[in-house]
Chains A and B, each alone.
Chain A
Amino acid sequence: MNIWDFFPGFYSFILMEPTHAFIRILLILLGLFLVYMGYKEKLDPLLMLPIGFTMAVVNGGILIMGEGQLGTLFVDPLVSEPTKLLDALQINFLQPFYNFTFANGLIACLVFMGIGGITDLDFFIARPFLSLFLALGAELGTILTLPLAVALGFSLKEAASIAIVGGADGPMVLFTSLMLAKHLFVPIAVMAYVYLGVCYAVYPYLIKLLIPKRLRAIPMDPFEIRTVPPSEKFAFAIVAGVVLSLLFPVAAPLFACFFFGVAVKESNIGRFREFLDILLSGSTMFLGFTLGGLLSVTTVMNPKVFLILILGMVALLLSGIGGLVAGLIACKLSGGKINPLIGIAAVSCVPTTAKVAQHCAMEVDETILILPHAMGPNVAGVITTAILCGIYVTLVPLF
């Protein structure tokens, strides 16, 4: 008997190609780094902790499977043949979760329903056109990345799935890639969620680069936002959900889940609201956990992954720039009454980007409170991204 048989995790390093082994070590270290950054709250801990931890563990836990092949007991996203799938469902502990909630988009819809349950429409309904104007500006990355990705050799469907990363909304990225480019679902989804966590760290630098200090210090009175009665918010959620589903039936599951979550919140059905809280926490945790499990060395070695990484970053940067430019235009048009920082909040990613806007304003003046104003474009960002996702999923297959 070989001594290495007692330590199959280590032995698998010897059996691997040196490049794979090297990247595997890098992934373990990156996973641990993400856990650390999440723990220190420098990156979004809700995502970074489960993603980073499982990413480190799945790359550590590679062993020799039957027929001498290397694999893990976590999940195999590439298995599609029925007999092999049945085997995988009985072997890999995350496989049932992946096949019954990821591969059909259910997890995206559940997260989106939970997000609806915590979304406060007050600020959006109080100033709908300002919010939507900023949100449309912050979709710059979603729009420009499409031709850019095609120019780099991706097909239209693949390019649209990558471009939607610019909307900075995880459930929409999952949904679009599942509808248009299932074969790239894993790298796109993983990259999108990792980047959404990174928004937290990168956008402050973009803000400092583009917005002068005096404009960042523009005060906005939080009390000037009118109070919106729950009946108005409830009616909006129901009508908008139905009308948008009518316009873009392919994205109707997303609209239905989001606006149902909002309707539950505003209808004040206590038991449903409590369940939505648990649903959001549970779905986000298992989403991160499974995404981390998908980040094994075999996924990362896909030659398209590197390009997807670059395009995802470009999409989010362009969206950030678009949001801030729209913020500057709104500031100019309002005669300097609107703090342009609320433009970055339009890059969806509720509520991370709104918190980034508040944080950057407070760096200049600790007494400034722009968070309530930033929540309007933040929510509008979710709505516009869902709309653009619906349009891409409807339009792209026609060409």
Chain B
Amino acid sequence: MADVIVALRIAILTYALGLLACGLVGGIVLVIRKITSDRSKGVEQT
């Protein structure tokens, strides 16, 4: 039973870390989108 509880804790921890990592990936997408759109706006203005 103790092993199962440890496994459950690892599963929850994994999901939480996965959630954070996915948030980071989403954040990277947004930052790159912002940089590329700012750059293309700059090109249009010049």
Contact between A143 and B11, CB atoms less than 8 A apart: yes
**Residues of A contacting B28 in the complex (Cβ-Cβ under 8 angstroms):** 236, 239-240, 243
**Residues of A contacting B35 in the complex (Cβ-Cβ under 8 angstroms):** 235
From B7, B13, B22, contact of A159 by CB (8 A): B7
Contact between A128 and B25, CB atoms less than 8 A apart: yes
Contact between A244 and B21, CB atoms less than 8 A apart: yes
Contact between B11 and A247, CB atoms less than 8 A apart: no
Across the two chains, which residue of chain A brings its CB closest to B29? Answer: A128
Tell me the dominant secondary structure on chain A's binding face. helix
Contact between A146 and B25, CB atoms less than 8 A apart: no
> Interface residue tally of chain B, by bracket?
20 to 34
A132 contacts chain B at the CB level, 8 A cutoff: yes
Q: How far is the CA of A147 from the CA of B24 in the complex (A)?
A: 27
From B17, B22, B36, contact of A235 by CB (8 A): B36
A399 contacts chain B at the CB level, 8 A cutoff: yes
Contact between A392 and B14, CB atoms less than 8 A apart: yes
- Report A383 CB to chain B, min CB distance, Å: 6
Across the two chains, which residue of chain B brings its CB closest to A232? Answer: B36
Q: How far is the CA of A144 from the CA of B8 in the complex (A)?
A: 8
Across the two chains, which residue of chain B brings its CB closest to A139? Answer: B18
- Report A301 CB to chain B, min CB distance, Å: 27
Q: How far is the CA of A347 from the CA of B18 in the complex (A)?
A: 15
From A124, A128, A231, A384, contact of B18 by CB (8 A): A384
**Residues of B contacting A239 in the complex (Cβ-Cβ under 8 angstroms):** 28, 32
**Residues of B contacting A150 in the complex (Cβ-Cβ under 8 angstroms):** 3-4, 6-7
- Report B17 CB to chain A, min CB distance, Å: 5
Q: How far is the CA of A77 from the CA of B26 in the complex (A)?
A: 41
Tell me the dominant secondary structure on chain B's binding face. helix
**Residues of A contacting B6 in the complex (Cβ-Cβ under 8 angstroms):** 150, 156, 399
**Residues of B contacting A384 in the complex (Cβ-Cβ under 8 angstroms):** 18, 22
Interface core residue of B8, B14, B15, B36 (most chain A CB under 10 Å):
B14
For A232-248 the 0/1 string (1 means CB < 8 A from B) is 10011001100110011
A150-B3, A387-B21 as given contacts; A236 in contact with B10, CB under 8 Å: no
- Report B25 CB to chain A, min CB distance, Å: 6
A132-B25, A136-B22, A247-B21 as given contacts; A125 in contact with B33, CB under 8 Å: yes
Mark out the residues of chain A between 107 and 160 whose CB falls within 8 Å of any chain B CB in the assembled complex.
Answer: 124-125, 128-129, 132, 135-136, 139, 143-144, 146-147, 149-151, 156, 159-160
Q: Which residues of A are interface residues toward B (Cβ below 8 A)?
A: 124-125, 128-129, 132, 135-136, 139, 143-144, 146-147, 149-151, 156, 159-160, 229, 231-232, 235-236, 239-240, 243-244, 247-248, 380, 383-384, 387-388, 391-392, 395-396, 399
Q: Which residues of B are interface residues toward A (Cβ below 8 A)?
A: 3-4, 6-8, 10-15, 17-19, 21-26, 28-30, 32-33, 35-36, 40
Known pairs A136-B22, A146-B10, A391-B18; list 7 more (Cβ under 8 Å): A144-B11, A147-B4, A159-B7, A236-B28, A243-B24, A380-B22, A395-B10
